[in-house]
Amino acid sequence: MYPFVSVAYAQSAGEAASQSPFFQFIPLVLILGVFWFLIIRPQQKKQKEHVSMVDSLRKGDKVITNGGIFGTIVKVGDDRITLEIASKVQIQIERQQVARMDKKIAEGKEDTDDAVEEKEVKKKVAKKVTKKVTKKVKEEE
């Protein structure tokens, strides 16, 4: 009656029972492997990086807390650090509450250092050029 529809027959009970338990266990192992590589392993790596960052905190570092507070480390203790969040305003927090180092401020310092060096080089080049030009002008006179 329907030329493009094939008839589906039920599988006999003997074929389903004949599969070994090993083959039924393979999908579970594959799912656990996917979870390990996509969820568990990256989370462990991130946790190790955070612990090493917290252990390397030093006085003068600019950090951001888990609560979103920006500050500069004034004092480092065993389990607490003291942050200066404004002029003469200091708070104490647990070391583990530091979310990350403030990269923008660190990059900004590097950029300003590079800019200062570049300006000094330009000044030196400009002085040399003006000396050469003044020598040529004096020779022509």
The Cα angle at residue 47 between residues 45 and 52, in degrees rounded to 5: 95
| DSSP H stretches of helix in 36-96 | 41-55
pLDDT in tens, 89-115: 999 999 999 999 987 655 555 555 566
In CATH, 57-111 is 3.10.110.10: no
CA distance 42 to 16: 38
Whether the CB-CB separation of 99 and 131 falls below 8 Å is answered with no
Whole-Å CA distances, 137 to 60, 127, 132? 53, 15, 9
Question: Which of 14, 115, 108, 98 has its CA nearest to residue 63?
Answer: 98
| CA-wise closest residue to 73 among 64, 96, 82, 65 | 82
Q: The pTM is what?
A: 0.56
List, as own/partner pairs, every contact residues 130-137 make where C-beta atoms lie below 8 angstroms and the sequence separation is at least 24, other chains included: none
14-64: pLDDT as tens digits:
555 567 888 888 999 999 999 999 999 999 999 999 999 999 999 999 999
